[in-house]
Structure 1
Amino acid sequence: MKRTMQVALATAALALVPQLVQAQEMEKSTAVKGGIQMKGWMGKVDGKEAKAGLTVDSAKFVAMGPGMHATTGPAITYWNPEMKGKGDYVVKATFSEREYMGLNNHPHPYGIVMGGNDMGTDNESYLYCAAYGNGNFIVRGMGPAPFQMNGRGGTSEAVHKAEAKGKPVTQEIAMQVKGDKVSCIINGTEVASYSKAELVAAGKLKSTDGVVGFRMGHNTDAHIAGFSIGKP
């Protein structure tokens, strides 16, 4: 009986995969006006977004209050070439979705970028840790082709969940380099960690040293506060 139930649950889970993929494929990036209005900051949209004719001007990145605000548009990475991490460091910020899934039909991620090199070119490499408002998180990189470290299905009780679509949700996200260890920390809890050897390799990162910034999924609206870089 137990075996039968396990098989049934596995079959049901597999049946959901095509539906989730189809939902993601059906939801197209909707351009917004504004572009980058933060002095010193740069950005680059994902390759598939660029092929669809979308650019950094198809998203909006502005100063707002004591922080910043990003509204996308295409999936995009923002960075400031003057802000770099070297050796042991931690970079963090607090992301707030005022209306969870307000611009999309399924959860989209937002988070911290680190270890950026050759940014804005076809040879760029970087790593990011991002959270979803449904309790999931993702650790992923470009090197220059995308590489997954944990996939999109990573879950942790540390990742905050919105009560429902349209409700607010906030995540404090950090990436830390300390010794040989690189960590993804969400709301004060380490949710994933990797050795430098797992990250700095052919087709992955050139170094854990590099520029830092933000990663925003497509059709996402979030306020960014408390952005800082310092020692662990």
Structure 2
Amino acid sequence: MKCTQIAVMLMVLGGVAVAQGPPQDANRKVEHGGIFVPGWKGVVDDLSAKRGETIENSRLAMDGKNLHVTTGPATTYWNVSDMAKGDYTVSATFREPHYMNLNDHPHPYGIVIGANDMGTENQSFLYCAAYGSGKFIVRGMGPGPFQMNGRTGQENEAVHKAAAKDAEVVQQISMQVKGDTVSCSINGTQVWSASKTDVMASGKLKSTDGAYGIRSAHNTEVEVIDLKLSK
């Protein structure tokens, strides 16, 4: 092969690599994984499940009065007795004690509502989650993934930013259903809202009624404080 042909081939391969972007960090397998809080269940994302990963690859446990989540694969957790109907607000404080300690880029965590048929091929739910980088994302499963504010979320001044890697960052997150509107607030500021018809369209939520809980993306560690339902 001539030198010019080799050079062209290297340029093409290099272009493909750039177009694809850097590889994502692989899911870690959490030691002593599983669910250690009575009444709680969890499910890993479908892509991780197809790779053979299970809920045992992440961990949910109590840390005093608070929930402590450590994920390998992205995981959604809910308590089978926690249901929300009609108008309601679900809120909690999320403390990331060591920002990005398990990954090489930010990952989000937050509140889940409207969870139905969880753990089945027909599951549906909606979540609002914050990143320690100052971004947030509203996303759902119905049962395929659907985006409500873009594939990678968006920045908002209300979302707290960690000072540096391994620094603590805290977010107060709530999701509200009121009348025909579904919304998310972070640190006391409403950052997103939509009509029920937007989130309950074909391929999205079955209903805003359902179980509520928490979600944490892959390779994250977070403490969940005072998860509660308010009317």
Q: Does TM, scored on the shorter chain, surpass 0.5? A: yes
Unaligned runs of 5+ in 2: 1-16
Between the aligned partners of 1:19 and 1:27, the Cα distance in structure 2 is 17
Partner SS for 1:91: strand
The number of residue pairs the alignment matches comes to 213
Between the aligned partners of 2:93 and 2:38, the Cα distance in structure 1 is 20
- Are 1:198 and 2:180 counterparts? no
1:162 corresponds to: 162
Q: Rg bigger for which structure?
A: 2
1:216 corresponds to: 216
Partner SS for 2:48: helix
Amino acid at match of 2:195: S
2:43 corresponds to: 44
Instruction: Identify which of 19, 24, 27 aligns with 2:25.
Output: 27
1:29-62 residue CA offsets vs partner (Å, 9 max, x unmatched) = 0011321001010011011111222110001100
1:159-200 residue CA offsets vs partner (Å, 9 max, x unmatched) = 000001110000011100011110011011100000001011
Q: 1:38 to 1:21 in 2, by over 3 A?
A: farther
**Offset of 1:66 from its aligned partner?**
1.5
Question: What is the aligned-residue identity percentage?
Answer: 56
TM-score scaled to structure 1, two decimals?
A: 0.89
**Offset of 1:64 from its aligned partner?**
0.8
Partner SS for 1:198: helix
1:102 corresponds to: 101
Between the aligned partners of 1:82 and 1:21, the Cα distance in structure 2 is 43
- Superposition pairs for residues 107-186 of structure 1, below 5 Å? 107-151=106-150, 152-186=152-186
1:70-95 residue CA offsets vs partner (Å, 9 max, x unmatched) = 00111010011210110000001111
Contact 2:138–2:153 under 8 Å retained in 1: no
Moved over 2 A (4+): 18-23
Q: 1:21 to 1:158 in 2, by over 3 A?
A: farther
**Offset of 1:20 from its aligned partner?**
10
**Offset of 1:124 from its aligned partner?**
0.4
Between the aligned partners of 1:73 and 1:80, the Cα distance in structure 2 is 20
1:68 corresponds to: 67
Unaligned runs of 5+ in 1: 1-17
Between the aligned partners of 2:171 and 2:19, the Cα distance in structure 1 is 24
Q: 1:188 to 1:67 in 2, by over 3 A?
A: same
Partner SS for 1:28: coil
TM-score scaled to structure 2, two decimals?
A: 0.89
**Offset of 1:153 from its aligned partner?**
3.1
Between the aligned partners of 2:179 and 2:112, the Cα distance in structure 1 is 19
1:7 corresponds to: none
Contact 2:116–2:125 under 8 Å retained in 1: yes
